[in-house]
Chains A and B, each alone.
Chain A
Amino acid sequence: MCAFQLKAEKISKSYKRGSFFRRPSMILDSITLGIQRGKTSGIVGESGAGKTTLGRIIAGLEKPSSGKILFRGQDIHRMGRGEFSFFRKKVQMMFQDPEGSLNPKKTISTSLDEVLSLVGLSRRERRLKILEILRTVGLSSDILYRYPSQLSGGQNQRAVLARILLREPEMVILDEPTSALDISVQAQILHLLRHLQEERDLGYLFISHNQEIVKFMCHEIHFLRDGRLVELSV
């Protein structure tokens, strides 16, 4: 049995740039990597190297130009509706900007509650689950009726994490989750992520340009340069 529950096979992505006669530029070139539960794979590279695009493709938010994404052995772009829904539930993505990740016009309570409405739970059950998840991520319940603009960067990222965890995922793609945060808050969030990984056996794909953080978080590190994965260090 394959150890990688989520696998990218020969993923390439190119964009048509500029005028009609220009050749398309290749952002990603035949990338293959795998993520397993309980472990963190890291991707390091410079800004604009295509790390975010790769993350989005693996999360199923964007289609590759060629190659496959396999979840539990199945090609996600050939899945039926129900199976793809299940994939969506199990593989989540977390983005870099804390305030952009939450709808500025929705209170935290609404943002969390609507996730639970995808499952069939009673009002009371939803309320209990929300309070529980807030405790897990270290937020007090008085932030529930605030808007993202009224919370700090760290609090926003925790709220985003809460939203993701409510879906009970197995894998999370983390795209520079702490780059926009203060230093001490960064440490808090990353420790929280590690703790959650142990507690829930989560598999992480950690994308960053900061080598020190990546060394702290990851079990194996891939380097992305010119669209290709160059090294692998453990």
Chain B
Amino acid sequence: MKQPQNKHQSSFTVENRNWTRIGLILFSLVVLTALGADILAPHDPWQRFEPYQSPSRDHLLGTNDIGNDVFSELIHGTRVSLIVGFGTALLATFLGLIIGLVSGYYRGIADEMLMGLTDIFLMVPRIPLIIILAAFLKPSFWMITLALGLLWWTSTARVVRSKTLQIREMSFVQSSKGLGFRDAHIIFTDVLPNIIQVVIPKFMITVATAMISEASLSFLGLGDPTLKSWGMMINFAFVKGGFINQMWWWYLPPGICIAGIVLTTVLLGFGYEQKEEIGLRGI
């Protein structure tokens, strides 16, 4: 006589959906769009047609104030978001890892100095700094990526250091020391694989935050005018009267895309965490 263990449990819960799969599918779509932008976009986004057109069969989302096809702009915008997002995250995570590992493993003076450095960087307000940089230098998306990356390693560094401090006390690290392995070997083969699981979600969040920051900066007019980015599209929509004239095809699609790509990135991170959790639960 079989008895159900839990009578009152719904099957549609957050845990039950396979977020990894959904995240991966959506993300692949995004990457494919970015890679195949030239093919997928019906027109060259820089080509000028008749401006201020409403959505039609030829121009699915109409044209903007100088005649570019909005839909093609939208597709090309994927590239900017992805490059800034991942570029920033890679730089920030790489720096954060190195600093956190060295700090946490060696402790002592190196730790004090590096953490002091971290505190200094934490004090710097990011967006105002970028605004100032944009005022003095030519605003380009490489600059944004570099600036954001060089400022955002701090939280990763802290987390990595904290986990490193924990791991280095574990018996297997002590064993490796006792067996006579070099520090570099221990850090990379013993410590690093065990901290990756906290670094990856942070990486994903950095990607998402970088994308939003780039969009915000572009919206403020500090972005790279030579590129088609979603933030810039909304900026032009605002400046050229798209909001007042209720030309939703100017500002709504890029806004939805920004939200969408951030959501996809977060889902990826979430899916990764979910897989890790299942691995950890075991029996």
Q: Give residues in A with beta carbon < 8 Å to B.
A: 56, 59-61, 85, 88-89, 92-93, 95-97, 100-106, 114-115, 118, 149, 160, 163-164, 167
Q: Which residues of chain A come closer than 8 Å to B179, judged between CB atoms? A: 88, 92, 115, 118, 163-164, 167
A85 touching B180, Cβ below 8 Å? yes
With CB as the reference atom, state the residue of chain B lying closest to A166: B179
**What are the nearest 10 A-B pairs in CB distance?**
A95-B171, A105-B193, A88-B180, A100-B171, A101-B171, A103-B172, A93-B178, A100-B170, A103-B190, A102-B172
Contact B282 A149 (CB under 8 A): yes
Interface 0/1 of B165-200, CB less than 8 Å to A: 000001110111111110001000110011000000
Give the Cβ gap from A187 to chain B, nearest Cβ, in Å. 23
B181 touches A114 (CB 8 A): yes
From B177, B178, B189, B282, give the contact of A103 (CB < 8 A): B189
A170 to chain B, nearest CB (A): 14
Within 8 A of A (CB), among B80-94: none
Is the contact region of chain B dominated by helix, strand, or loop, or is it mixed?
A: helix
Complex contacts, B181 vs chain A, CB 8 Å: 114, 118
B178 engages A92 (CB within 8 Å):
yes
Chain A residues whose C-beta falls within 8 Å of the C-beta of B171 in the assembled complex: 95-97, 100-101
A103 to B177, CA, bound (A): 13
Give the distance in Å from the alpha carbon of A85 to the alpha carbon of B180 in the complex. 7
On chain B, the residues within 8 Å of A114 by CB distance are: 181, 185, 189
Question: Which residues of chain A have C-beta atoms less than 8 A from B170's C-beta?
Answer: 100
Query: Which residues of B are found within 8 Å of A106, using beta-carbon distances?
Result: 189, 193
Task: Please measure, in the bound complex, the distance between the C-alpha atom of A85 and the C-alpha atom of B174, giving whole angstroms.
Answer: 15
Given A105-B193, A106-B189, A114-B189: A100 in contact with B172 (beta carbons within 8 A): yes
With A89-B180, A114-B189 known to touch, is A104 a contact of B175 (CB < 8 Å)?
no
Contact of A104 (CB < 8 Å), options: B174, B176, B194: B194
11 residue pairs A–B, Cβ–Cβ below 8 Å: A56-B174, A59-B178, A88-B179, A97-B171, A100-B170, A102-B175, A105-B194, A115-B179, A118-B179, A118-B181, A163-B175
Residues in B neighbouring A160, C-beta threshold 8 A: 175
Residue of A56, A96, A100, A167 with most partner-chain B CB within 10 A:
A100
Q: For residue A102, which residues in chain B have a CB less than 8 angstroms away from its CB?
A: 172, 175
Nearest opposing residue in chain A for B174, CB measure: A61
Whether A93 pairs with B174 at a CB distance below 8 angstroms is: yes
B221-273 interface (Cβ within 8 A of A): none
Chain A: CB-nearest residue to B182: A118
